[in-house]
Amino acid sequence: MSKIVAVTACPTGIAHTHMAAEALSATAAQMGHDIRVERQSAQGVEAPLHVAEIAAADVVVIAADIRVEDVRFITKPVYRTSTSRAVTQTSAVLAEALALVGEETPQMTTQTGQKPLKVVAITSCPTGIAHTFMAADALKKTAAARGWEIAVETQGSVGSQNALTEAQIKAADLVVIAADTHVDDSRFGGKKVYKTSVGAAVKGAAKVLDAAVAEGVVLGANLADTVDALKAKRAASRSGPYMHLLTGVSYMLPLVVAGGLLIALSFVFGIKAFEVEGTLPAALMAIGGGAAFKLMVPVLAGFIAYSIADRPGLTPGLIGGMLAVNLNAGFLGGIVAGFLAGYVARWLRDAIQLPRTLEGLKPVLILPLLSTAITGLVMVYIVGTPVAALLAAMTAFLQGLGTTNAVVLGLILGGMMAVDMGGPINKAAYTFAVGLLTSNTYAPMAAVMAAGMTPPLGLALATLVAKNRFTAEEREAGGAAAVLGLSFITEGAIPFAAKDPARVIPSIIVGSAITGALSMALGCLLVAPHGGIFVLAIPNAVTNLGLYALSIVVGTLVTTGLLIALKKPLSSDEAARA
């Protein structure tokens, strides 16, 4: 029996997070393995892993669609996958993760014997400039004079430099953290750690090292409390463009939801009520449309760049995103600005090498100035105008769609929502519709939300009207699927699709495609980007509410009918077990 720890997380932090956790837990138990799963959701960290559990684990599974901080697992083999695969191919995921386990993980020890000690250290000051590097130099010189081995990681404004490796931390007898800012110490679980100020290390490195040997404390299980405060400190070089885009979308989404709902609330008083200055509808529109929606693109671009280049990417990314807004390049321009800023900032950070005496200029002057100037100039003179023209053409095309073209677009977007039920294709359709909200194009958003609701609703209805085709467990899950469907959580269909993909997936794709096509053809518009049936209760949030509800009902019935036609009744043995 192996010991496994896992983390599940998706951009919205809702259904996929929890469904992946449940699938991993149940399957690992059936395979005879011990597993503990931490869930990172929109509500924060649920069931956080304790340091003792991580130390005892044989392997770590990270099932996530966004970047998950992994420094606390630095001494463990880590297997990464998507939440969708963790749900649909759970056994294969666990088998591949366990295949990573080689030799037994050595136990952490704190050694104070006669042989030279091996020390790892972190230095960090609030500005991340002079004191950070002075403390590092002082510790290196003092340790070298004693014949000790030392490796120092500096955490400055350009991110982590000389980052400690897994092998260095494994071999270390002692950890010294000289910092005046928060430093994540969860990766040092089981090690003897001494914490002090960066000034103390600069003024008296010898005293710091002596105190570390005498007063250092072995970190215990209470470090799990720091999980909520973990922040991304390293560039996500292991992840590709899709992961960077999802990171930006995950930070943008709360702004879109809050802004969209506030705009919808302003319509409660009438579609044109916000035009009267000084009124509550005008205030709601100013907050939602004037502030939240204007921040949407800069935040998207800023955190795409942050995912690529760490802190150096944030400034040019935010500014590039704001330029995209000012140049009318919209969300397409924001995506371009984010990737441009991120890769430019990362290249400058790695390419510019300065003498130690001038290193302090790099994070506060050189990198922000150069990366912002390059990104801004490219956006203004090269990217902005053509992207703005492309967005304007796309917006005009979408707003002027004839019935036939609207049906085709609705079919495509609707089908995409059901193909992988919350996976990359689903999120691509959703991101496309959300981005168009800033261009006052609301029809795709209506089609996408309606199509995302019908898969779990159709399955829930099928479990009621065709009970002989579903096991008792599936019929019980039907109730939960109905609630998820009403809440616009397409992932509610995943358990059914995983069990019978050949019949379930075609059924829900057809149902969602028809729903999307009907929504577009009937001229339905939606100003709020999430919320399902609860948003429909807001007056004027949806144009043609009755017809919109009809498209959802029709798609649900089509899905249910196809399920009944394609799924065979349970055999007598299966029915008896059910």
Residue 110 lies in a domain: no
524 given a catalytic annotation:
no
Residues facing 81 on adjacent strands: 63
d(Cα 68, Cα 186) in Å, to the nearest integer? 14
DSSP 388-422: HHHHHHHHHHHHT--HHHHHHHHHHHHHHHHHSSS
Among 60-74, 212-226, 288-302, 427-441, whose mean pLDDT is lowest? 212-226
Nearest Cα residue to 2 out of 109, 102, 108 = 102
The answer to whether the beta carbons of residues 163 and 234 sit under 8 Å apart is yes
Residue 111 lies in a domain: no
Confidence of residue 496 (pLDDT cuts 50, 70, 90): confident
559 and 421 co-located in one domain: yes
Position of tokens 């042989």? 115
Q: Which residues lie closer than 8 Å to 475 by C-beta, 6 or more apart?
A: 463, 464, 467
Nearest Cα residue to 326 out of 528, 284, 318 = 318
Among 140-144, 170-174, 264-268, whose mean pLDDT is lowest? 264-268
Residue 275 has a pLDDT of 79
Residue 225 has a pLDDT of 35
Q: Which residue has the higher pLDDT, 270 or 169?
A: 169
Residue 500 has a pLDDT of 80
Nearest Cα residue to 501 out of 391, 409, 419, 399 = 419
What's the number of CA atoms in the CB half-sphere (13 Å) around residue 427? 21
Q: In the chain, count of helices (H) and strands (E)?
A: 25, 13
Signed CA dihedral, 397, 403, 405, 410: sign only: positive
Nearest Cα residue to 524 out of 549, 558, 553 = 549
pLDDT score of 375 more than 90? yes
Residue 176 lies in a domain: yes
Q: Which of 351, 381, 411 is the last residue of a domain?
A: 381
213 and 321 co-located in one domain: no
83 and 132 co-located in one domain: no
d(Cα 517, Cα 203) in Å, to the nearest integer? 71
Residue 554 lies in a domain: yes
Residue 391 lies in a domain: no
Mean pLDDT of all residues in 384-401 = 77
Neighbours of 33 (CB within 10 A): 18
Helix runs in 38-195, H state only: 51-56, 83-88, 90-98, 130-145, 166-171
Cα–Cα distance list, 561 to 405, 448, 513, 564, 567 (Å): 27, 21, 15, 5, 10
Mean pLDDT of all residues in 477-504 = 81
Phi, psi of 192 (to 5 degrees): -80, 120
Residue 129 has a pLDDT of 58
328 and 451 co-located in one domain: no
Burial per residue of 490-514, b for 16 or more beta-carbon CB atoms within 10 angstroms, e otherwise: bbbbbbbbbebeebbbebbbbbbbb
**What are the pLDDT digits (tens) for 3-56?**
899 999 887 666 778 888 888 988 888 888 899 999 887 667 888 898 888 888
The answer to whether the beta carbons of residues 444 and 433 sit under 8 Å apart is yes
Mean pLDDT of all residues in 165-175 = 85
**What are the pLDDT digits (tens) for 423-466?**
667 777 887 888 777 777 888 889 999 999 999 999 999 989 88
89 and 126 co-located in one domain: no
Residue 112 lies in a domain: no
Residue 518 has a pLDDT of 94
292 and 367 co-located in one domain: yes
425 and 448 co-located in one domain: yes
Q: Which of 190, 221, 237 is the last residue of a domain?
A: 237
314 and 452 co-located in one domain: no
Residues facing 132 on adjacent strands: none
Residue 484 has a pLDDT of 81
Sheet holding 217-218, edge to edge: 159-161, 149-156, 118-124, 174-179, 192-196, 217-218
Signed CA dihedral, 346, 347, 349, 350: sign only: positive
pLDDT score of 235 more than 50? no
Residue 314 lies in a domain: yes
Residue 130 has a pLDDT of 67
426 and 572 co-located in one domain: yes
Neighbours of 88 (CB within 10 A): 22
Give the pTM: 0.53
pLDDT score of 368 more than 80? yes
Helix runs in 232-329, H state only: 241-266, 280-285, 293-309, 311-326
Out of 125, 224, 255, 374, the active site residue is: 125
The answer to whether the beta carbons of residues 380 and 327 sit under 8 Å apart is yes
Burial of 225: CB neighbours in 10 Å, binned 0-12, 13-18, 19+? exposed
207 and 233 co-located in one domain: yes
The single-letter code of the amino acid at 70 is: D
Q: Which residue has the higher pLDDT, 279 or 363?
A: 279
Mean pLDDT of all residues in 530-540 = 76
**What are the pLDDT digits (tens) for 100-130?**
774 333 333 333 344 578 899 998 876 555 6
Q: Which residues lie closer than 8 Å to 269 by C-beta, 6 or more apart?
A: 279, 280, 281
355 and 250 co-located in one domain: yes
Confidence of residue 381 (pLDDT cuts 50, 70, 90): very high
406 and 552 co-located in one domain: yes
Residue 230 has a pLDDT of 33
User: pLDDT above 90 covers what percent of the chain?
Assistant: 19
Confidence of residue 219 (pLDDT cuts 50, 70, 90): low
Output the domain CATH number for residue 93: 3.40.50.2300
Residue 226 has a pLDDT of 32
Residue 363 has a pLDDT of 74
Give the domain range for residue 79: 3-100
Mean pLDDT of the chain: 80
Residue 40 lies in a domain: yes
Among 92-96, 149-153, 244-248, 448-452, whose mean pLDDT is lowest? 244-248
d(Cα 46, Cα 126) in Å, to the nearest integer? 30
Three-state SS for 283? Answer: helix
Total domain count, the chain: 4
**What are the pLDDT digits (tens) for 316-353?**
999 999 998 888 888 788 889 999 999 999 899 888 88
DSSP 150: E
Q: Which of 347, 381, 415 is the last residue of a domain?
A: 381
Q: Which of 59-73, 98-112, 372-386 has the highest mean pLDDT?
A: 372-386
Residue 572 has a pLDDT of 62
The answer to whether the beta carbons of residues 178 and 201 sit under 8 Å apart is yes
CA angle in degrees (0–180, nearest 5) for 15-21-25: 145
